Amino acid sequence: MSAGSVIEGAVIMTQVKNNKVKPDTSVQFLKGVGLARAKMFSSLGVETVRGLLDYFPRDWNFAPEVSPIKDIKPGEEVSIFALIESTNFRRFRKPEMFEAMVADKSGVCRIVWFHGGFLQKKLKPGQMIMATGKVGEYKHQAQLTNPRFMIVTDDSVDPSRQFSGGVYPAKGNLTSRRIKHIIRRVLNNVEDVVDELFDEDFRRRLNLIDRRSAYRWIHDPPDEDKLKKAKRRLKFDELFLMQAGLGVRRYRLRHYYRAVKCVCTDKIDKRIRKRFPFLLTDDQNEAIKEIVSDMGGEKPMNRLLQGDVGSGKTVVALYAALLVVANKRQVAIMAPTGILANQHFISIERYLRKSKVRRICITGGLSGDRRKRITGDIERGRYDIVVGTVALLERDIDFKDLGLVIVDEQHKFGVRQRQGIRKKVMPHCLVMTATPIPRTLAMTAFGDLDVSVIKHCPPGRGEVTTRWVDSKNKGKAEEFIRKRLKAGNQAYFVYPRISSSDTSGEIKAATEECHRLKTVFSEFNVGLLHGRMPQRDKDRIMQQFRRGKVDVLVSTVVIEVGVDVPNATVMVIEEADKFGLATLHQLRGRIGRGQAKSWCFLFAQTDNELTRDRLDVMIRSNDGFEIAEQDLKIRGPGELFSTRQHGLPDLKIANIIEDYDLLVMARREAFKLIEDDPRLVKKGHLSIRKNLIDKFGSAIGLADVG
């Protein structure tokens, strides 16, 4: 350790002794912590005093006030403060029992703990004890059975307060009670650690208590009403700061960057629509109208296009791309996988046959001289539309004049990957997702984007029937599938794992099951597709499946999005109980692409009630938005969309489902504030600015604004 570090540590220790802790003071220097417990705190995600105060209880206890023993009655929950007069351990009783007779000035009470042998060395006559529990009666005498208790050695301590307060997630020798004591010491100096975000008028208007009281009451609530008020205030703060961060990000994009106008004339509109051999739906036309309006200005478009599987998002995205090409600019279309990138390219080719639009598909497999030649042509502007994966973000790819970036399935990219392409230029941005996003998530994970929704699918799509199949009916289902294959249709078999080496052996895997299915369907061609295969092999298998040379495609969720084979009318999802609802719905969306009726079989054997409920949702509904709402309720937001993945701070106390009304209010107030003071430099806003930078770090770009 350097001399500087020693001096710094000594200064901090002096500050702590003088009760002058700061928010960024390491917990190591707090009384009762030290280096060993600081490491334990670190494993719980707590590094500083600020982090300690944000380590909220998972539950709360409210001990009754201390009652004189003479006043306690059977059936009541009570707390007593008494002297231990005698103890007795009855070892040979069944079950064994530890007994203590305790007394205060008003009377005597018996306390028993079954299986209490461990108390022999802990409880001794002459000690003062605080106990809380339900009163019973034994031989006409008041008795507490297995109460919570503590030995009280300090006369200045309020014993009833020791049982009240938060119950914390603990680890090792860092018990909940120890954490509570450490936090309570910090709460004695809460004015030095917690700053207020809002003035009194703001708090009165929204019925919020002050922030310091909120921190005191969340950790040490005097009663349930004050706990409720503390939760509401801290939940609002958390949601407000998240929405303010999104608001700053949105404001920066709209006011500090410029994009090239892409004008849509009647002539351009007619030329683009001629490319589609069908009339667009009302939803598609409305989405196009919003996109055209955005790109007609100099503010960069930042729009989310969401729609259920098969709703026609690709057509809308291609319209936007062709509008940009008509304005002499380039377009980048970015997909999370090579399979999906190729699928997009095939769809584009279908509509742009005999077109003068120059297009190319780049995936990770492109290398050598050919790659150099193609990237050089992109830089010289010889390609109008470039489709690819994250390979489009690599350093050797530069666009001459990039006007639009289309990102498909944005939540499958890391936030840094998505930002990479926008560091080079500031094009318009259209984000597509076939995962219907509930309104709560749209306001958080995608809160800085404008949203267009395609709710209804184009007419003419085949009906999809979903069935849950248990093990005893599996043979019947396979026989039904054989009939569909004989009729000239194709089928998918999807598994949760690539091989049995990836599992405990109990979960079925694609590689091993492919061998079995080649026997079951021996008269048909069975192919295997998974993410570890070389790109050229994946492309070859998909090409064969599209052309009908492969009848049964055995796969993992690599085919979850984007794969479009109208002749595939059967989908089997093995171990369906291992998938989330959103994934099941995405997989089911690979069938019913043509006009023929399709069938989705969910193979699962489960007695779990929650799992059965999820499978029932799939059977009764084909509406992706309804399914997404159900998935959100069943699994919670954390499993569906990681806040970290979107560059947002984790939510520690708020829940975007349960606290939806607070989320709406926080969003309204945060966006109003950012419009009024985007740099947050006005008097009264500096604390919000500081807290935003603490939560978002440099990702928010507040330091850049202005």
pLDDT digits (tens, 9 = 90+) for 315-332: 999 999 999 999 999 999
When pLDDT is cut at 50, 70 and 90, the band that residue 416 belongs to is very low
Helix, strand, or coil (residue 666):
helix
| Rounded-to-integer distance, Cα 326 and Cα 272, Å | 9
Do 67 and 131 fall into the same domain?
yes
| Rounded-to-integer distance, Cα 250 and Cα 257, Å | 11
Lowest-confidence pick of 5-14, 201-210, 519-528, 629-638: 5-14
| Rounded-to-integer distance, Cα 609 and Cα 630, Å | 15
In this prediction, residue 609 carries a pLDDT of 84
Average pLDDT on 363-383 reads 85
- Round the average pLDDT of the chain to a whole number and report it: 85
169 lies in some domain: no
- Tell me which residue of 31, 432, 429 sits closest to 249, measured CA to CA: 429
Do the strands 97-104 and 107-114 form a parallel or antiparallel pair, or are they unpaired? antiparallel
In this prediction, residue 647 carries a pLDDT of 54
In this prediction, residue 672 carries a pLDDT of 94
In this prediction, residue 490 carries a pLDDT of 95
Lowest-confidence pick of 12-16, 170-174, 365-369, 540-544: 12-16
Overall domain count for the chain? 5
Average pLDDT on 64-89 reads 91
- Tell me which residue of 609, 563, 612, 610 sits closest to 588, measured CA to CA: 563
Lowest-confidence pick of 11-20, 307-316, 327-336: 11-20
Do 124 and 50 fall into the same domain?
no
526 lies in some domain: yes
CA atoms within 13 A on the CB side of 402: 24
Q: 320: buried, middle or exposed (CB in 10 Å: 19+, 13-18, 0-12)?
A: buried
657 lies in some domain: no
In this prediction, residue 156 carries a pLDDT of 53
Do the strands 165-167 and 59-61 form a parallel or antiparallel pair, or are they unpaired? antiparallel
Average pLDDT on 476-494 reads 94
261 lies in some domain: no
In this prediction, residue 502 carries a pLDDT of 61
Maximum average pLDDT range among 285-299, 352-366, 568-582, 642-656: 285-299
Quote the crossing angle between the two packed helices 211-219 and 224-255, to the nearest 10°.
130
Predicted structure pTM score: 0.70
- Tell me which residue of 66, 178, 73, 181 sits closest to 132, measured CA to CA: 66
User: What CATH number does the domain containing 42 carry?
Assistant: 1.10.150
Between 502 and 94, residue with greater pLDDT: 94
Final residue belonging to a domain, choices 145, 171, 191? 191
- % of the chain at pLDDT higher than 90: 45
Contact of 495 with 509, CB cutoff 8 Å: yes
In this prediction, residue 330 carries a pLDDT of 95
Average pLDDT on 495-524 reads 84
Instruction: Please give the full DSSP string across 113-130, using - where no structure is assigned.
Output: EET-GGGTTT--TT-EEE
Between 701 and 521, residue with greater pLDDT: 521
In this prediction, residue 621 carries a pLDDT of 87
Lowest-confidence pick of 295-309, 346-360, 416-430: 416-430
Do 537 and 629 fall into the same domain?
yes
- Tell me which residue of 120, 113, 121, 111 sits closest to 95, measured CA to CA: 113
Average pLDDT on 344-349 reads 88
Do 243 and 347 fall into the same domain?
no
Residue 656 has pLDDT above 90, yes or no: no
| Rounded-to-integer distance, Cα 353 and Cα 339, Å | 21
Contact of 556 with 495, CB cutoff 8 Å: yes
Do 50 and 97 fall into the same domain?
no
117 lies in some domain: yes
User: What CATH number does the domain containing 154 carry?
Assistant: 2.40.50.140
660 lies in some domain: no
Question: How far does CA 123 lie from the centroid of its chain?
Answer: 48
Contacts for 103 with CB less than 8 Å, ≥ 6 apart: 69, 82, 83, 85, 109
In this prediction, residue 49 carries a pLDDT of 94
Do 240 and 273 fall into the same domain?
no
Do 286 and 209 fall into the same domain?
no
Average pLDDT on 411-421 reads 48
Q: Which helix (H) or strand (E) holds 687?
A: helix 686-696
Between 258 and 602, residue with greater pLDDT: 602
User: What CATH number does the domain containing 432 carry?
Assistant: 3.40.50.300
What is the CB neighbour count within 10 angstroms for residue 188? 11
Do 517 and 588 fall into the same domain?
yes
- Tell me which residue of 208, 220, 226 sits closest to 662, measured CA to CA: 208
Range of the domain at 25: 1-62+179-191
In this prediction, residue 493 carries a pLDDT of 95
Do 131 and 214 fall into the same domain?
no
Average pLDDT on 341-350 reads 87
Q: Dump pLDDT digits (tens) for 254-275.
A: 887 888 899 999 999 999 999 9
In this prediction, residue 445 carries a pLDDT of 65
Average pLDDT on 667-682 reads 92
646 lies in some domain: no
Instruction: Please give the full DSSP string across 37-61, using - where no structure is assigned.
Output: HHHHHHHTT--BHHHHHT---SEEE
Do 439 and 499 fall into the same domain?
no
Residue 18 has pLDDT above 60, yes or no: no
Final residue belonging to a domain, choices 419, 454, 489? 454
| Rounded-to-integer distance, Cα 631 and Cα 406, Å | 27
When pLDDT is cut at 50, 70 and 90, the band that residue 641 belongs to is very low
Residue 99 has pLDDT above 60, yes or no: yes
First to last CA, the chain: 41
Do 430 and 526 fall into the same domain?
no
Do 99 and 210 fall into the same domain?
no
499 lies in some domain: yes
In this prediction, residue 699 carries a pLDDT of 59
When pLDDT is cut at 50, 70 and 90, the band that residue 440 belongs to is low
- % of the chain at pLDDT higher than 70: 86
When pLDDT is cut at 50, 70 and 90, the band that residue 645 belongs to is very low
Maximum average pLDDT range among 443-452, 489-498, 534-543, 563-572: 489-498
Helix, strand, or coil (residue 163):
helix
Q: Dump pLDDT digits (tens) for 189-225.
A: 888 899 999 999 999 999 999 999 999 999 999 889 9
Question: How far does CA 654 lie from the centroid of its chain?
Answer: 13
Question: How far does CA 552 lie from the centroid of its chain?
Answer: 34
